Amino acid sequence: MKPVTCLLTALVLALASTGTRAQFVKGNEAVKVMPDGSKKVETPPLPEATLAPPCKADKPACSTGGWLMVETSDGLRECTEFYARPGTCRPSTFGTEKRPRLWVVKLKGQWMQCQRPDVSSQCVSTKALPQTTIQ
């Protein structure tokens, strides 16, 4: 019985670490690892036009399109908007909760929304209407 317990423990640990590895998008030009190992993270710039008051992450009922996964200086966050204004993001639940998500990345100098945490997945401009995927 002991080998079965060890095997189950190894499987649980492997699954847990898989979710952790997907907590970033490989190829996202917005995240740069510096020579000293620190990260420099760029978030989408605010538009020149005035924005509506932010939809707060703690009361996301005003956000209808699912969560936008944005890499910030605080790590991967679930945001109600891709600008990641203060109060619009919360810690990521990716890997523990299934919900509609889009991944905001910078690719070839342009801000994009991807269906999966993979720049080779279906990605469209942040100016286009994307289709979220339950993840």
Q: What's the pLDDT tens digit per position in 13-62?
A: 333 333 334 467 889 999 998 999 998 999 999 988 878 888 899 876 77
Residue 53 confidence (pLDDT): 87
Q: Which long-range contacts (CB under 8 A, 24 or more apart) does 128-132 make?
A: 130/65, 130/102, 132/65, 132/66, 132/100, 132/101, 132/102
Residue in this structure with the two tokens 């907590």, named with its chain if needed = 23
| Band of pLDDT at residue 132, cut at 50, 70 and 90 | confident
Residue 62 confidence (pLDDT): 75
Residue 28 confidence (pLDDT): 94
What does R_g of the chain's alpha carbons equal in angstroms? 17
Distance CA 31, CA 43 (A): 9
Q: Which of 24, 45, 23, 42 is nearest to 34 (CA)?
A: 42
User: Per-residue pLDDT for 112 more than 90?
Assistant: yes
Residue 12 confidence (pLDDT): 35
Residue 5 confidence (pLDDT): 38
pLDDT digits (tens, 9 = 90+) for 60-107: 677 667 899 999 999 999 999 989 999 999 999 999 999 999 999 999
pTM tops 0.85, yes or no: no
* CA dihedral angle for residue 4, residue 9, residue 15, residue 18, rounded to 10 degrees: -130
Distance CA 114, CA 123 (A): 4
